[in-house]
């Protein structure tokens, strides 16, 4: 009797867990749809701005701008700043673990970055970085709906510190969203700004079925008005802000996808566990009924 009572409690507990995980899955699905719309709405602007900056830099030749540099450019002995984008909440599967492992691999492979400054977005990475003896210089609270104004303030701060020589380079470690079935942890060089971001965007567009390189763009000739240097002075800061904002949007979309998948797996596992427990309960109940019938028959036979 005690066994069947315990099984009833376990079946009820599993059913309650399944309802909770199902609800969280539905919430994550709704948030994913909204975040995906925000991310895809900003991509045309980001792509057009990338193409304009890269075409301008290609046609100008020698580019002289405080924010522009090669893929491995670094300014003097100034420290490298690394921004790690994690989530504020858990229950999102391997999302935070993948981003933090990528960040640690980057820091171990670059001693200058490990000895430099590390800034964090989200609460889930704080304990991990503390355990690995990585001091966090600043922790930003953005939430799961990053606004352009909040990201713009961070980008302006980075550009000012880079232009003044306080930091030698800025890298962003985040989860890049490619599709609902594929998200890749990525380390992106934000400053000095280079064609790497545009190249990564081109690979993402090619993977999505959009041509990344258009021969018409490669052979196009431009007449600049105002001068190319003046255009770069306006376009490069806007491009840096767009890159960072797109990284935040990709990170949020990837987080919701990971949570949606994790909650669906938890719901399915709870359903399977409930079926197994129900099967065990039915067998235990049948054994109990058989035992009671045997006792009744044995008692009646003894009376006769």
d(CA 228, CA 167): 26
Mean pLDDT value of segment 123-134:
92
Q: Distance between terminal CA atoms of the chain?
A: 29
Mean pLDDT lowest among 75-79, 134-138, 166-170: 75-79
Exposure string of 248-281, with b = 16+ CB inside 10 Å and e = fewer, is: bbbbbbbbbbbbbbbbbebbeebeebbeebeeeb
- Is the entire prediction scored with pTM above 0.85? no
The fraction of the chain above a pLDDT of 90, given in percent, is: 47
Q: What's the confidence (pLDDT) of residue 19?
A: 95
Residue 2 binned pLDDT confidence (cut-offs 50, 70, 90): low
Instruction: Give me the CATH topology for the region 25-259.
Output: Pyruvate Kinase; Chain: A, domain 1 (3.40.1380)
- Look over the chain and give the mean of its residue pLDDT values, rounded to a whole number: 83
Residue 210 binned pLDDT confidence (cut-offs 50, 70, 90): very low
* 71 has pLDDT over 90: no
User: Mean pLDDT: which of 24-38, 59-73, 206-220 is highest?
Assistant: 24-38
The fraction of the chain above a pLDDT of 70, given in percent, is: 83
Q: What's the confidence (pLDDT) of residue 215?
A: 44
Strand arrangement, sheet containing 169-179: 138-140, 117-121, 80-85, 169-179, 182-191
Q: What's the confidence (pLDDT) of residue 195?
A: 54
* 209 has pLDDT over 50: no
pLDDT, tens digit, for every residue of 248-284?
999 999 999 999 999 999 999 999 999 999 999 898 8
Of 256, 61, 226, 53, nearest to 146 (Cα)?
Answer: 256
d(CA 84, CA 139): 10
Question: CATH for 2-18+263-303, among 1.20.58, 1.10.3430, 1.10.3470, 1.10.287?
Answer: 1.10.287
Q: What's the confidence (pLDDT) of residue 232?
A: 76
Question: Domain ranges in the chain?
Answer: 2-18+263-303, 25-259
Mean pLDDT value of segment 59-68:
65
């Amino acid at each position: 009797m005690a066994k069947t009572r315990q099984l009833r409690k376990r079946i009820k507990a599993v059913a309650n867990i399944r309802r909770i995980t199902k609800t969280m899955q539905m919430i994550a699905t709704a948030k994913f749809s909204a975040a995906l719309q925000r991310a895809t709405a900003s991509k045309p602007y980001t792509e057009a701005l990338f193409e304009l900056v890269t075409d301008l830099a290609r046609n100008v030749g020698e580019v002289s701008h405080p924010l522009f540099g090669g893929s491995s450019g670094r300014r003097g002995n100034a420290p490298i700043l690394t921004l790690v984008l994690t989530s504020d909440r858990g229950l999102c599967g391997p999302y935070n673990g993948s981003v933090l492992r990528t960040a640690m691999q980057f820091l171990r492979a670059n001693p200058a970055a490990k000895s430099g400054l590390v800034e964090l977005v989200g609460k889930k990475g704080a304990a991990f970085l503390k355990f690995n003896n990585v001091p966090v210089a600043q922790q930003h609270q953005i939430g799961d709906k990053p606004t352009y104004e909040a990201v713009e303030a961070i980008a302006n701060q980075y550009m000012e510190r880079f232009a003044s020589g306080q930091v030698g380079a800025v890298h962003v470690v985040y989860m890049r969203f490619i599709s609902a079935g594929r998200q890749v942890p990525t380390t992106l060089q934000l400053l000095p700004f280079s064609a790497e971001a545009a190249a990564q965007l081109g690979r993402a567009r090619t993977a999505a079925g959009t041509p990344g390189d258009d021969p018409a763009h490669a052979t196009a000739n431009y007449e600049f008005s105002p001068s190319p240097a003046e255009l770069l002075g306006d376009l490069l800061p806007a491009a840096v802000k767009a890159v960072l904002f797109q990284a935040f949007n990709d990170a949020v979309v990837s987080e919701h996808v990971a949570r949606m998948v994790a909650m669906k797996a938890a719901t399915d596992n709870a359903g399977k566990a409930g079926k197994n427990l129900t099967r065990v309960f039915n067998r235990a109940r049948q054994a109990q009924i058989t035992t009671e019938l045997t006792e009744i028959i044995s008692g009646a036979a003894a009376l006769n």
